[in-house]
């Protein structure tokens, strides 16, 4: 997909290959389609293409096909409800239209992403966590699964959160995905906590065959609670997704996180190697010592779009 986005050459991109050679040329906008043909994640396609099309010659429309709610990747709801509002702080907007939802193992989902290029990205500062002001989410079923499963996931998640956070109303909507907007069978839940300073945290989980609905709801709730305990301003799944934008931005970006994940360490390593951005990761001073909180700081390279 990236090869096509920028008229590049790509060698060795086949199954079993241990080495690829990629030579990019001019990034061009326009309409591009990428189809995993499985439940391969449309969100991962979006992750890899977004930094490129921001520096394209003209506006882009990406038609991404595969899994919208798949394991080992962000769910599309996370991408639209958490990633989107935060990443737009870098100074761009994108539109994400979910045409069809698709689940493991068949996929069949389709998402259309539209965005215009920018001249340059602004740095961000996400270090002030604030206090949690609301908790909301959606528990969904699709295909042949009974609506009761969605209600059970939501109820179990609410009960779990209530044990720790008593003073907030927790609004998790059970949803039956419309037949014409979901391909195959699936169920899952995403729960989001919003803070007074506009930070967003999430916990999510997908149903699997033989796993009862309560367990799925509790898993998502526990993930959210764990992300709220560390005192950072982003959750563990957002931290690594912001690294490339911090590297490309003009100026110093700072994000406060919980424990730095292996994904984030890897993203920093390659951003330093490839973009020559400079990162520092330091234990946060202003927390009590019991909290495992860090500040990731980056002097961005101030990438400018040569076509604008």
Residue-wise pLDDT tens for the chain (308 aa)?
999 999 999 999 999 999 999 999 999 999 999 999 999 999 999 999 999 999 999 999 999 999 999 999 999 999 999 999 999 999 999 999 999 999 999 999 999 999 999 999 999 999 999 999 999 999 999 999 999 999 999 999 999 999 999 999 999 999 999 999 999 999 999 999 999 999 999 999 999 999 999 999 999 999 999 999 998 999 999 999 999 999 999 999 999 999 999 999 999 999 999 999 999 999 998 767 778 999 999 999 999 999 99
Q: Is 176 known as a binding-site position?
A: no
Number of Cβ within 10 Å of residue 198's Cβ equals 14
Please count the helices (runs of H) and the strands (runs of E) in the chain.
8, 15
What are the φ/ψ torsions at residue 112 (nearest 5 degrees)?
Answer: -110, 120
pLDDT at position 162: 97
pLDDT at position 286: 76
**Inter-residue contact 33 to 4 (CB < 8 Å):** no
Structure-block tokens of residue 198: 């506009």
Strands (E), 78-220: 94-102, 109-115, 125-126, 132-142, 170-176, 182-183, 186-195, 200-206
Question: What is the rounded distance in angstroms from the CA atom of residue 305 to the CA atom of residue 219?
Answer: 42
Q: Whole-model pTM?
A: 0.96
Q: What is the DSSP letter of 266?
A: H
- Long-range CB contacts for residues 6-15, cutoff 8 Å, separation at least 24: 6/52
**Inter-residue contact 279 to 302 (CB < 8 Å):** no
| 3-state secondary structure (DSSP) of residue 206 | strand
Q: Is 47 known as a binding-site position?
A: yes
Question: What is the rounded distance in angstroms from the CA atom of residue 35 to the CA atom of residue 38?
Answer: 8
Q: Is 237 known as a binding-site position?
A: yes
**Inter-residue contact 38 to 30 (CB < 8 Å):** no
| Catalytic annotation, residues | 263
Number of Cβ within 10 Å of residue 209's Cβ equals 5
Q: How far is CA 64 from the centre of its chain?
A: 15
pLDDT at position 15: 94
pLDDT at position 290: 73
pLDDT at position 96: 98
Q: Is 238 known as a binding-site position?
A: yes
Number of Cβ within 10 Å of residue 164's Cβ equals 12
Number of Cβ within 10 Å of residue 229's Cβ equals 12
Structure-block tokens of residue 304: 């400018």
Dihedral sign for Cα atoms in the order 13, 249, 261, 207: negative
Number of Cβ within 10 Å of residue 105's Cβ equals 9
């Amino acid at each position: 997909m990236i090869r096509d986005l920028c008229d590049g050459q790509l060698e060795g991109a086949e199954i079993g290959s241990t080495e690829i050679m990629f030579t990019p040329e001019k990034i061009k906008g326009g309409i591009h389609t990428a189809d995993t043909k499985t439940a391969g994640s449309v969100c991962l396609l979006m992750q890899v293409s977004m930094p490129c099309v921001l520096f394209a010659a003209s506006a882009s429309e990406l038609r991404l096909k595969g899994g919208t709610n798949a394991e080992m990747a962000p769910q599309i709801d996370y991408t639209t409800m958490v990633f989107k509002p935060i990443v737009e702080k870098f100074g761009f907007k994108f539109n994400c239209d979910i045409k069809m939802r698709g689940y493991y193992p068949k996929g069949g989902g389709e998402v259309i992403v539209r965005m215009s290029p920018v001249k340059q990205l602004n740095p961000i500062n996400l270090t002030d966590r604030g206090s949690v002001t609301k908790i909301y989410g959606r528990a969904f079923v699709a295909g042949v699964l009974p609506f009761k499963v969605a209600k059970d996931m939501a109820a179990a998640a609410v009960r779990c959160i209530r044990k720790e956070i008593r003073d907030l109303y927790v609004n998790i909507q059970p949803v039956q995905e419309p037949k014409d907007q979901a391909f195959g069978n699936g169920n899952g839940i995403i729960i989001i906590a919003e803070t007074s300073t506009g930070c967003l945290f999430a916990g999510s989980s997908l149903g699997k065959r033989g796993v009862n609905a309560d367990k799925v709801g509790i898993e998502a709730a526990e993930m959210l609670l764990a992300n709220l305990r560390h005192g950072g301003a982003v959750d563990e799944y957002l931290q690594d997704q912001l690294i490339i934008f911090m590297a490309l931005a003009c100026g110093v970006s700072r994000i406060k996180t919980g424990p730095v994940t292996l994904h984030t360490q890897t993203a920093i390593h390659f951003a330093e190697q490839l973009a020559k951005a400079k990162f520092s990761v330091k234990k946060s001073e202003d927390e009590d010592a019991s909290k495992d909180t860090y500040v990731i700081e980056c002097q961005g390279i101030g990438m400018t779009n040569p076509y604008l």
